[in-house]
């Protein structure tokens, strides 16, 4: 859903750019509402398309928030989550992502195995002159 939200954001950016020649960064595009969209787009059909894209972005964002809340409620009390989010730079979403993608840490016999799994170490495997 985050990927779809980003695709819609980029679509709206391109639509405004095509019809006005103005390039808006993502933050101003996210702040657009029905009235401010009308300031950028004077064609009724184009404005309608932009409003539908904006509405889809809002719906996706609402669903993303529901999913994040659900997953966070399932993870936030676990010791691994509490531990990983004490690391500087690892917040709620990144902590959840690492926790759920890693799975039980006990499945890695050594620290090096996890570092390799996370692709934090160079590979020595070469096949057809490629790593």
127 three-state secondary structure: strand
Could you tell me what percent of the chain has a pLDDT over 90? Answer: 52
C-alpha to C-alpha distance for 41 and 94, rounded to whole angstroms: 37
Structure pTM?
A: 0.72
**Mean pLDDT confidence for 89-102:** 91
CB 41 within 8 A of CB 47: yes
CB 1 within 8 A of CB 60: yes
**Confidence band, pLDDT 50/70/90 cuts, at residue 131:** low
Torsions phi, psi of 43, nearest 5? -75, 130
Query: Does pLDDT of 126 surpass 80?
Result: no
pLDDT single digits (tens) 22-54:
899 999 999 898 888 888 888 889 999 999 999
pLDDT single digits (tens) 10-21:
999 999 999 889
In residues, how long is the chain? 131
pLDDT single digits (tens) 67-79:
999 999 988 888 9
């Amino acid at each position: 859903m985050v990927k779809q939200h980003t695709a819609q954001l980029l679509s709206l950016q391109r639509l405004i750019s095509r019809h006005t020649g103005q390039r808006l960064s993502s933050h101003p595009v996210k702040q657009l509402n029905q009235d401010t969209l009308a300031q950028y787009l004077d064609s009724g059909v184009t404005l309608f398309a932009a409003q539908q894209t904006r509405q889809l972005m809002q719906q996706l964002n609402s669903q993303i928030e529901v999913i994040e809340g659900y997953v966070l409620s399932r993870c936030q009390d676990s010791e691994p989550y509490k531990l990983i989010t004490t690391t500087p730079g690892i917040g709620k979403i990144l902590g959840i992502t690492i926790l759920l993608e890693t799975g039980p840490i006990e499945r890695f016999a050594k620290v090096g195995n996890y570092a390799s799994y996370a692709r934090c170490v160079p590979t020595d495997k070469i096949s057809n002159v490629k790593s």
